[in-house]
Each structure stands twice: as C-alpha cells, then as structure tokens.
Structure 1
Amino acid sequence: MSRAGGVRGGTRRSRLESRRQQRRQRYGRFISWTAIGALIPGSGLIAGGRRRIGTFLVVVFTLSILALLATVVLVPNRRLISYGGDRQMLLVVGSTLAIAALVWLIVALATHRVLEPDGLPPGKRLGGALVVVLVTSLIVGPLSVAANNAFTQRDLIGAIAGGDSHTTPDIANVSDPWADIPQLNLLLLGSDAGDGREGVRPDTLIVASIDTQTGDTTMISVPRNLQGFPFPDESPLVQHYPSGFRGEGDQGEWMINATYRNVPALHPDVFEGIGNPGADATKWAVEGALGIDLDYFVMVNLEGFQAIVDALGGVTLDVPRDIPVGNKEIPGTGRCTQARRYIQAGEGQHLNGADALWFARSRCGSDDYDRMARQQCVLGAIVDEVDPRTVLTKYQELASATRDIIQTDVPEDLFPALIELALEVQGGTLESLTLDREFFNSMGASAANPDYDQLHTRIGEILAPSEDDDDSPDDTTTSAGSSEDDPADDTEAGAPREHETDDASDTPASGDVPETPDNGVTEDEQSTDDDSGAEEEHDPDQPVETDEVC
C-alpha cells in the first residue's frame, strides 16, 4: 500500500507540474501573441481562432503598407512635402491617421480579450494589459501625434492665409500657378507692433524675386525712409498722389514705412472689404518705388520672431563684435544709454530668441546698414536650424509661434505650390542687394529721395532674367535680413515712441529728405564699431556674398 500510495502521490505531483507547465506555456503564448497582435493587426486574432476577421485585417494592413511604400517611392519628395500646404489633403491625412489609431487600439484590445486564458489571476491579467498598452503605444502614439500635427497645419494655413486684396494676381490654373508667373515677387515685411506703440510700421521691407523655374532668388532690401515715391498707374492712389506720396506736416509720416498705417486711414474708401489694407498700400508703395510688380506679401512681427528662435532651440552664428543688450539711443546726442549686458563677440555663439532679436535689431554704436547685414545673418542661421528632426519634434511649438506672428495675402490653395517653390529656392542661388547710401551715391542720388526713374531702370537691370542660366552670378545673399531703419530698435521691447525717425535730422521740416543718418556715429567711430562693414571693396550696386558679412 505504501508503495502504491507513493506512486499515486508521484503521479499527482507530476500531473500538477504538467498543468502548471501548460498554464505557463499558455500564458507565454498569450503574452507573445498579444504583443504580435498589437503590432500586426489581425495576427493575434488568427492565433485566437478568429481566422476570418483576423485574415481580413492582416490583408488590409499589408495592402496599406504596400500603398504607403509605393507612394513614397513613386511620388517625388517635393510633391509629398508640398501636400503639407493642401488643407483638403491635410484633412484627409489627419482623419485617416486618427481613424487608423483608433482602429489599431480597438483591434489590440480585442486581440487581448480573445487570447486571454480563463482563470488568470489578477497579477497576470494586469501583466497582459500592460503588454497591450506598451506595445500599442509604439504605434498609436506616433499616429496620434501625426494626426494632431496634420490638423494643426491645416488650421495654421487657414489662420494665416490671405483675404481679399487689390494687389494679388489672378491665378488661372492653381495646379500650375507659375505657368504665367516666371518671376514671383514677394514683399517681406517686418512689423514693429508692440505694447506702447501706436499702430504698425513695417520698418523691414525686403523684395524677394524668385525665378519659378530654377528657384534662383534675388533679395532687395528697401530703406524705410524713402519719400516722394510714385504709386503704380493701376493703383487708385495715383489720383490722390499724382506727384508722389507727400504732404504737409511731419515728414516722418510720409516715409514709405508709414504707408501701412497712414494711407488706409487717409483713404478708407479705397480699401473697403480688403483683408489687410496696410499691406496692400505698402505693396503699391514699393511697386511704385522700385518699378516692379509685387505678387504677395508676408509680414512677420519682429518682437514675436524670438518665439520662433526659441522654438528651434536657439540659433548659432558668428558675432563680429560685442553687441549691447537693453540700451537705447539718447535723442539728439548721438549717444546711447548704458547696456544691461553684451552679447560677446566670437565664432559659433549660440543665441536664444531674445539675444537673437537684439543681435538683429541693435543699432547703438553702428548704423542701419550694419544692422541689415546682421539681420540677414540671423535669417541664415534660422534656416540652418530648420531640419526635419527639429520640425517634427517641435512642430506644435513652431506652429503656435508662427500663427501668432505671421500674416500674408497668399491664398490657401496656393500654399502647396509655394512650399514646392520654397524647396526649389533652397537648391537655387541666393543673392541680395541693400539699397544703401553707396548704392544711391553710385547713381548720383540720395538714399531718402532718389531719382525714381533711374531707380526703376537699375532695379529692372538687376532683376532681368539672364540670357544664359550658366552665366548667372555666383554671388549669394548679403542682405536677406532686411532694410529696416527702425528707430525703436534701439529701445527696449515695447518701449513707446512718437514716430519712426532715426533722430531729429531724419525728419526735416521742409525740402529734400537727407540720407538715412548713422545715429550720430562719426566716421571714425563707424570705422571701428562697424566690423561687419570692413569687408573688401565691392561694386555698391551689385550683390556680395553672405559669407563676407556673416
């Protein structure tokens, strides 16, 4: 009996061990197929006996992956990226991704439920649930983020896209908008709107003329103190200013940067129903001053631009000399208040948004044209920081900053083509010219009050298409930054001011308007302070390379 009892006991233990081993195998199989099913929708259902629905999901998943790969391989990258400007496509993509994420999660949970063995203790059930959550998050998380980014991008385009305008071209074929526009002329404006300031004055005025076939771009920085400029013949403002934009009172109110605020206020009937009257007026002003047609404008709030830099994690650039931070000009003295601190000179300096703004706008101890060069360097540094990884990881922050600081009259259905053109610009040549004192002196004129007929001829020569693309100049941009002559740039952010003059000499009581002054800096001081201007001699009416400035 004892031997028989021992045999029976051993058999019982063996059966119990076998059952435990089977339970462990079932649990291991449950965990494994739960994880696989969360990664490949339908595979876990097939393993759980739901072959019909499982096979259907696996086939749909496989076809979707093949379709995605075919799209990436067959559709040019530029076209794929341009879809980021198509609001309808963004709606489709965002909705598809959101639905895919939801379905993926439901399938993963259903797979877990089908595969889960009966009678699992609470601890093991929790383990299975954690596997579902962790594995599914690897897929559903990125899908959800991508869907959210698509909807954010769609909303962003809707927020900044232009409204009605007198000055935008009629596009006959949106799918090929550049067929009738071989040269796209954009007006880039930097506004100084802020607390304590009356209205908006775009003291940065840059014309970007883009060859729509090659992406080659010429950027022309326009002084903000131009006066007496004509309006183009097609503008209704010609009848109000047949002899150019001039009038009584403070001459600062008749400078080209005052057009944005003053002209719509003086002639509201001309701009009734227009989305951005100030921008339309400024486009007409720059068209008349340079003798060219402008297609669209893009305006950036310069105070808010630091949010873009911060969203990018800062910018890295070479600082040619110590740049003061937090000081301002003392009117009528040619001197500046004590700086709070300095951005130290040196190569490869990493600046946050606030320092980058001071670097771009500080004018104490230098002049406006030195500042223009620094602004271009900042823009170049921003372009260097914008890479796909940065955009993907900080997209929401970038989009939020962009929504707050950018305005344009580009219609929303043109954004895909404009994004594609921007990619062409990156691969094309980039050159720039500042309409500075030397430029106007080379024509025997002054910077503030040039001979506009002569200026029209010179700009036409600069922007004329080359007869042979191979002979196009190698020069790249020098003043892509701006031509702002902003008197408030020497003040702390948000500081009030009466009007946009450099100093008392910039707004004469009558007669000819003088050239843009140097803030009282003497010739000797200028030669020592303006390190970036100490480059080799160049033709004043021709572009120079960016590297010579930055």
Structure 2
Amino acid sequence: MNDAERPHHAARPVDGATPTGAGHARQIWPGHAAEGRAPRQGEHRSGGPDSGAPQRRHLRSSLLLTLASAVIPGSGLLGAPRRGHKMLGALTAIVSVVTLTFVLFWAVTDLPRLARVAGNETFLGLATFALIFIAIAWVGLITLTQLTTRPTGLRGGKRLLSAVVVTGLAFCVAAPTAVAARYSHDTARALDSVLKSKDDVKANNQPTIAGGLDPWADQKRVNILLLGGDGSASRAEQVAKYSIRTDTIMVASIDTKTGNTTLIQIPRNVQYTPFPEGSEMAAAFPDGFRGDGAEGEWYVNTIWQHVELDYPDLMAGSTYRGAEALKQGVEGITGLEINQFVLLNIDGLEALINAMGGVTVNINQELAVGGDTAKGTKPKRYLQPGPNQHLNGQDAMWYARSRWNTDDYNRMARQSCLVKAIIDQANPQTLLTNFEAIIKASADMLATDITDDQLSAYIDLAFRVKDGGTISRLVFSNGNNGYSYSDPDFEKMRAAVAKAIEPTPTPTAAAPTTTSATSNSTASAPDPSASASEPSNEGVHNVSDACAWQGEG
C-alpha cells in the first residue's frame, strides 16, 4: 500500500521514529506516555553520563546525609547536588572538626588552662551568644541538608517522615546547645554577684599574681582565711544584733608550687587574740582583743562583729572592715600573713550539699541533731555511726556542728572532713547534672575579697591542690601546740604553725626523714630530746586519716 492508499485516520510515525520490526525500536505515536519517547537528536536521558541533570535521589540516602549534618555540622551537604552547597558543607565540617579536636586536645594536655578560660566572665558572656548562634546555624544546616538532598515531589507519608526526622535531629542538637548557653549565662551572673572588680575592693596583703604560664611564680605560699558564718533562721535576731559571727575559723596555707595544703583550725573561743606589731588593730588593742569590762563576748569569733558595730573608725575605707580586722587577729595567732578570705554562709552550704545530691562521710560516733546543753534541750534524734553515710544538707550541717556530746575540737575535725568530702565529691558528673542548683547555692553562700581578675589563678591553684597536693591539718586543742583556753601561749602556737607548713625535707643517707604537716601519714610524737619550748605537732595529721572509718568492718 502506498501513501495515497493509507487510511486517513492512521497517523504517521513521529519524526525520527522507525516502524516496529525486528531490530527496530518501538514506534512512538503521539499521545503515548512521554517516558516511552525515544530521545531526540542531541537529547540525553536524565542520569546519563552526559546529563547536566541530577542523579535520581533516594529518601534513605537523604535521611542519612541529614543525620551526618547533625553529627558533624554541615557534613551531609557534601552529598548535595550543587557545588555551592558542597563547599558550604566542607567548610563547616572542617571548622567543626578542627575546633572540637583543639578543645579535646586542650582538655587532655592542659585542663587547668581550659578551666581558666572557661571561668572568665568576658568569655562566658561571649560564649552565651556564640552558643545561641551555633544552635541556630546547626539547625539551619540540618534543614538545608534535607531540602537539598531529598527526592523531588515527595508526597504523604514520606514528606511527613522527612519533617519528623528533621525536627527530631534539630531538637537533639539545639536542646543541649541551648542548655550550655544558659549554663554559661548563669555562671557569668554568679561570678559577677560573688567576685568584685579589683577596683571595687580595698584590702590588705593581696597576693602577688604574675602573668605568663605560672601565675604563682612570685608567691611562694598563699594563705586563705576560710570562715563559716551562721545565718540560720534560728539566729536571725542574733545576726541582726551581732552582725556576722564566725564560728568556723580556719586557714588554708597552700604551697603554690606543690599544692600541698595545711588546714590550720582555730578554736572559736580563743581569748586575748594578739595582733601583729604595728598593725591598726594592735594600736586599738595593745593587750590583745579584750573588752576591759565592755559588754559582750570577746573571743576571736566576735572580732568581725565588734569592729563593724562598735568601732566604725577601725579599718576605715576597707571593703570588708570586719574581715580585715579578723585577718589581723588570725595573723597574730598563727604568724602567717593572711592574703584573702572566703566567708561561707551556713545556710548556703546546706543548699550546696542538697544541690550536689548529698555528701558521703564516715560517722565515728553518735552525733546529736539539735539539742542545747546550756538550756537542757534534748536532741530530736541522732546520726548513727557507720562508714559511708550519705547525708542530705541538713544532716551534713549537723554532722559538722553537733556539740551535744562532743567538744569544739571534735567538731573542728568533723568540719575538715566535711570540707574534704565536698571537694572530693564535686565531680564533673555531679556538677553537670545539678549545675543550676549548685551555681545558685554557691552565689548565695559566698562572700570574698578575691577579685574577678584573680579567679583564673585560683583555678590553676585548685588543680595543683587536687592533682598533686596533700591536705594536712594542724589542731589547736587544749594542751596541744601551745594552746590553752585559759592561757594560750601564742608564741608556741606560731612556732607550731611554722613547723607544720615547712616543706618535707629530702631524705638523705646521713639524716633520717622527719615528719611534717604535708606528710601522707599521721605525724609522729615530738622528739623527747627537744627543748621544752619546741612546739608539739601532736595535732598535725593527714585529713584522710582523720576522716577514715575507725570502727570494725
């Protein structure tokens, strides 16, 4: 049949198509599905080697690439079709990996330095905004990865699955980053409320803190006065009347090279406290701290309150007049130059212990909770003896302050044990899981003349104490180390302190090793051949030994 004889309703083949037959492609007629159409000249199928169009995408691959961007910011964009997205992904992934590697390396090789940076208020303020920006950018990268790598034309359940995955991953990265930003903000606020600027603090005997790698290069020892002030509701009326009464007084004398620390505990009822020659307090009290018939108590623990309430001209201009007066009193007792002080409010310490989830100590004797011997009020209950007793904040404070069936010297020992337990148990896991409560409690419990520019140096010193130092304790109890309640021998007490903080001699073949306050074992009894004026170190011992369980089992 020729063309003239072909029926009019039969359409011609599409240009370029060949009739169906052996060895020939199937004819494509107008109206057939487009995907069956043979390519025109110069036209290539999508996905061919010469195609400029993207390869066919799969939802599974897109979700995996989105997950990659959640693990390493932007890394999933390396699988995106456009070159610009690939470059963005490569850049953000490299920056993220390098930054994380640097921080981890810094943490492993120089954790004190990293901690010093993290304790800087300016850094914390910048970190807060940086973390917020990172959270937003990270979520944006996750979303962009999904949008640029997923198949086109998703419908129904697959589109919903894609949205759910992006939302879940965005939450997983944004939530912890937002929490970190809040922690940074809270820490900066807490530091700002506790630490004053160096221009806002006037105090004596501030330590010499150098620049460079070793901030303590020019300060052989630093002596910090640690005070416990009772601010409980039951004493609110007394606090209003007496200002601050420092019932807990101890000095942490720290060797800045080794971190070895001697805690020197001073009984709260030391009488006739002397002051350094030539000091302002010595001029006001030439015969020691005594009232000469004036009303009130005149023990060492009342120096702060008397100066603040009764002697407005003493220590004029000092930021903490009571603290400066008490520093001079402790200097007169110990012979040490007191550099700075830290006052812990008892209520704040209780809140801190609760924020930590409690504290574990060994209880070696039955300890009363409540009770007043002078008034004949019996205790409400007792803390029972036993090893590894986990106490909440209230019971921990009664562990430290109970006097019903013990004396002040036993109480001072328990205070040292509580301080050590808090230090030992303030691990990173505890700090992170209870961060906000701990920060709030710390801000409420502290007063100090340590300034914000000195914090980094003290962080460095804290690592030296924790990592390489030993903690020992010098006890001033009746009849030991020159102390007697009725007639304290301050010259012998100062000599005992000097002996307690002296460095441990290097052992030699010619001379036996002597015991010092920084030894790991309990100090030996004094040499019987020593002169009568040489102080006894009977009360110097390792804090770990004093706090150990002493019962059976």
* Fold match by TM threshold 0.5: yes
Deviation per CA, 1:515-540, whole angstroms, max 9, x where unpaired?
Answer: xxxxxxxxxxxxxxxxxxxxxxx953
1:165 is aligned to 202
Matched, 1:191 2:229: yes
Matched, 1:202 2:246: yes
Structure-2 change in CA distance of 1:142 and 1:448 (3 Å): farther
Contact 2:57 2:149 in 1 (8 A): no
Q: Offset of 1:39 from its aligned partner?
A: 3.1
Structure-2 change in CA distance of 1:57 and 1:253 (3 Å): farther
Matched, 1:38 2:38: no
Q: Offset of 1:319 from its aligned partner?
A: 1.6
2:40 is aligned to none
Contact 1:433 1:544 in 2 (8 A): no
2:42 is aligned to none
1:133-172 matches, cutoff 5 A: 133-162=167-196, 163-169=200-206, 171=208
1:274 is aligned to 318
Contact 2:291 2:298 in 1 (8 A): yes
Matched, 1:321 2:344: no
- CA distance in structure 2 between the aligned counterparts of 1:173 and 1:475, rounded to whole angstroms: 29
Q: Offset of 1:235 from its aligned partner?
A: 3.1
Q: Offset of 1:435 from its aligned partner?
A: 0.9
Contact 1:438 1:540 in 2 (8 A): no
Deviation per CA, 1:174-222, whole angstroms, max 9, x where unpaired?
Answer: 4443222101101000111233232211110001110000001111000
Q: Secondary structure at the match of 1:433?
A: strand
2:544 is aligned to 546
Contact 2:207 2:222 in 1 (8 A): no
Contact 1:253 1:262 in 2 (8 A): no
2:430 is aligned to 390
Contact 1:42 1:53 in 2 (8 A): no
Letter paired with 2:165: V
Matched, 1:450 2:491: no
2:417 is aligned to 377
Matched, 1:462 2:500: yes
1:31-430 matches, cutoff 5 A: 31-73=63-105, 75-115=109-149, 117-121=151-155, 123-162=157-196, 163-169=200-206, 171=208, 173-175=210-212, 176-195=214-233, 196=236, 197-198=238-239, 199-233=243-277, 235-249=279-293, 252-331=296-375, 336-426=376-466, 427-430=468-471
TM-score, with normalisation over the residues of structure 2?
A: 0.77
- CA distance in structure 1 between the aligned counterparts of 2:209 and 2:69, rounded to whole angstroms: 51
Matched, 1:436 2:441: no
- CA distance in structure 2 between the aligned counterparts of 1:25 and 1:117, rounded to whole angstroms: 5
- CA distance in structure 2 between the aligned counterparts of 1:326 and 1:403, rounded to whole angstroms: 27
Count residues in correspondence.
468
Q: Offset of 1:420 from its aligned partner?
A: 1.2
Q: Offset of 1:223 from its aligned partner?
A: 1.1
Structure-2 change in CA distance of 1:32 and 1:172 (3 Å): closer
Q: Secondary structure at the match of 1:206?
A: strand
- CA distance in structure 2 between the aligned counterparts of 1:469 and 1:268, rounded to whole angstroms: 53
- CA distance in structure 2 between the aligned counterparts of 1:330 and 1:52, rounded to whole angstroms: 82
- CA distance in structure 2 between the aligned counterparts of 1:155 and 1:174, rounded to whole angstroms: 26
Percent of matched pairs sharing the same residue: 33
CA RMSD of aligned residues (A): 3.1
* Structure 1: stretches of 5+ with no match in the other structure: 1-10, 16-23, 480-537
Contact 2:146 2:166 in 1 (8 A): yes
- CA distance in structure 1 between the aligned counterparts of 2:357 and 2:101, rounded to whole angstroms: 33
Determine which structure has more spread, i.e. the larger CA radius of gyration. Answer: 2
Q: Secondary structure at the match of 2:479?
A: helix
Q: Offset of 1:41 from its aligned partner?
A: 3.2
Q: Which moved more, 1:381-390 or 1:398-407?
A: 381-390
- CA distance in structure 1 between the aligned counterparts of 2:57 and 2:474, rounded to whole angstroms: 75
1:482 is aligned to none
- CA distance in structure 2 between the aligned counterparts of 1:26 and 1:546, rounded to whole angstroms: 63
Contact 2:225 2:249 in 1 (8 A): yes
- CA distance in structure 1 between the aligned counterparts of 2:416 and 2:57, rounded to whole angstroms: 67
Letter paired with 2:493: L
- CA distance in structure 2 between the aligned counterparts of 1:137 and 1:539, rounded to whole angstroms: 60
TM-score, with normalisation over the residues of structure 1?
A: 0.77
- CA distance in structure 2 between the aligned counterparts of 1:242 and 1:216, rounded to whole angstroms: 35
Letter paired with 2:485: A
* Structure 2: stretches of 5+ with no match in the other structure: 1-31, 37-55, 524-535, 549-553
**Which one has the bigger helix percentage?**
1
1:21 is aligned to none
Q: Secondary structure at the match of 2:231?
A: coil
Letter paired with 1:455: M
Q: Offset of 1:247 from its aligned partner?
A: 1.9
Letter paired with 1:240: A
- CA distance in structure 1 between the aligned counterparts of 2:450 and 2:81, rounded to whole angstroms: 56
- CA distance in structure 1 between the aligned counterparts of 2:174 and 2:485, rounded to whole angstroms: 59
- CA distance in structure 2 between the aligned counterparts of 1:234 and 1:80, rounded to whole angstroms: 43
Q: Offset of 1:124 from its aligned partner?
A: 3.7
Deviation per CA, 1:204-260, whole angstroms, max 9, x where unpaired?
Answer: 000111000000111100011122222224532332222222223467532111111
Deviation per CA, 1:155-188, whole angstroms, max 9, x where unpaired?
Answer: 2222211441322426363444322210110100
Contact 1:192 1:200 in 2 (8 A): yes
- CA distance in structure 2 between the aligned counterparts of 1:251 and 1:446, rounded to whole angstroms: 24
Q: Secondary structure at the match of 1:178?
A: coil
- CA distance in structure 1 between the aligned counterparts of 2:265 and 2:335, rounded to whole angstroms: 15
Deviation per CA, 1:22-42, whole angstroms, max 9, x where unpaired?
Answer: xx9743344333333333333
Contact 1:477 1:545 in 2 (8 A): no
Deviation per CA, 1:103-162, whole angstroms, max 9, x where unpaired?
Answer: 111222333344455544454433222211222333332222222222222222222114
Q: Offset of 1:421 from its aligned partner?
A: 0.8
Q: Which moved more, 1:98-107 or 1:408-417?
A: 98-107
Contact 1:185 1:296 in 2 (8 A): yes
Structure-2 change in CA distance of 1:541 and 1:374 (3 Å): closer
Structure-2 change in CA distance of 1:44 and 1:545 (3 Å): closer
Q: Secondary structure at the match of 1:380?
A: helix
- CA distance in structure 2 between the aligned counterparts of 1:234 and 1:36, rounded to whole angstroms: 70
1:506 is aligned to none
Q: Which moved more, 1:227-236 or 1:349-358?
A: 227-236
- CA distance in structure 1 between the aligned counterparts of 2:95 and 2:317, rounded to whole angstroms: 50
1:463-478 matches, cutoff 5 A: 463-468=501-506, 473=516, 475-476=519-520
Q: Offset of 1:545 from its aligned partner?
A: 5.2
Q: Secondary structure at the match of 2:541?
A: coil
Q: Secondary structure at the match of 2:361?
A: strand
Q: Secondary structure at the match of 1:179?
A: coil
Structure-2 change in CA distance of 1:469 and 1:306 (3 Å): farther
Q: Offset of 1:546 from its aligned partner?
A: 3.2
